[in-house]
Chain A
């Protein structure tokens, strides 16, 4: 009798996530084909490619307009975001929310959802958080010069053969490889 009870006992803190080893990542070429077809679908349905940083710019514009509407109305950059339409009523905002849900679904179904901070053994979570924040700051800053990021410029503009998008993509790799040595301890 005790045996049958034991089999029904929950193991550890089960919050309903899939158990066991995470599934392996897809072959990069297969994942690339999936992304490429998503991009074609986006062009065919909407006439727009994919994007990410444009949505974040709208989040910032929205937050600043909420707390300081007069400041935004007089701001040389932000005033261009004020129009007859609400700031967040933009296809990129809906697309990036979809990407978040897509990421959640994909990580859950692959057994990869895990609340953690990724870093190598030589840095701690706090140092990793600082590097992540500083890197994000540079990336956010850079996207406004470039008018997009790896999604809106490199992928979308790259596939449409835009000269500026290709220049951006090559510069991203150049900047990344040049700086990699300085932050290598993060992962070693």
Chain B
């Protein structure tokens, strides 16, 4: 059977919601297993103590990227039917910067906060409440940044279109970059562990 199964009429809308629930279940399960139900673990990435966030994210991106390409090459997945998020460059950069500040301050991102709430974390409930209020506040200010919201619009715009390179070459570069990031992350972890050890020696 060729994917996406929903778009190819293999199952209907009702069954699609059951599928969505189970796919979400796997998502939450793996996030928890990665340790992402803990704000302490998540934010440790930003202090170089534990770079699991970077490692997990880049691994997931590489696996999904290769998986989609593989299925596409063998005709198992029609990539033209897969929703690629369109690019609105400026609001995505500004949104990302604010998001990063909120992430390190609040200790979670939306998906991990759901998993943390499911693990019993009370601070995650406060974070989730904050998200809902933040979305509401943004919507009230919408007329102020209506134009900014659609600025830098490139539609569906991929790295291979931007660079003018075949997607296989871009994927290879992404894999190399991920491997470099893994090496760097491990290096930083060791550096910070050694620093913490020295700090203990001095205080003793």
Contacts and interface: CB of A to CB of B under 8 A. Distances in A.
Contacts of A105: 25, 28-29
B191 to A, nearest CB: 15
Contacts of A120: 40
Contact of A140 (B17, B116, B118, B134): B134
Nearest to A119: B123
B118 A46 contact: no
Interface residues of B, number: 129
A101 B115 CA distance: 8
Contact of B25 (A29, A49, A56, A98): A98
A170 B19 CA distance: 31
B13 to A, nearest CB: 9
B65 to A, nearest CB: 4
Contacts of A148: 85
Given A37-B63, A41-B26, A176-B104, A137 B17 contact: no
A48 B16 CA distance: 11
B159 A35 contact: no
B156 A140 contact: no
B98 A168 contact: no
A91 B55 CA distance: 28
A154 B109 CA distance: 11
B86 A164 contact: yes
B92 A38 contact: no
Given A28-B55, A99-B27, A145 B64 contact: no
A43 B101 contact: no
A178 interface: yes
A184 to B, nearest CB: 7
Contact of A38 (B27, B46, B87, B114): B27
Interface string A110-144: 10111111111000010011111111111111111
Interface string A39-60: 1111111111110110011011
Given A135-B108, A136-B130, A145-B149, A157 B84 contact: yes
A143 B143 CA distance: 17
B110 interface: yes
B28 A103 contact: yes
A79 to B, nearest CB: 11
Given A135-B130, A162-B85, A44 B77 contact: yes
Contact of B57 (A32, A40, A48, A100): A32
A73 interface: no
Interface in A74-128: 75-78, 91-92, 94-107, 110, 112-120, 125, 128
Contacts of B30: 31, 34-35, 38, 102, 106
A107 B34 contact: no
Contacts of B91: 145-147
Given A103-B116, A154-B61, 14 more contacts: A32-B59, A43-B77, A43-B82, A45-B5, A64-B136, A100-B117, A105-B29, A110-B33, A129-B122, A139-B102, A139-B106, A141-B135, A163-B157, A167-B92
26 contacts: A28-B59, A29-B182, A32-B59, A32-B60, A34-B29, A36-B61, A43-B68, A45-B3, A56-B131, A98-B20, A98-B23, A99-B25, A106-B115, A116-B121, A129-B122, A130-B126, A136-B126, A143-B135, A150-B99, A155-B61, A161-B167, A163-B154, A167-B93, A168-B99, A172-B103, A183-B104
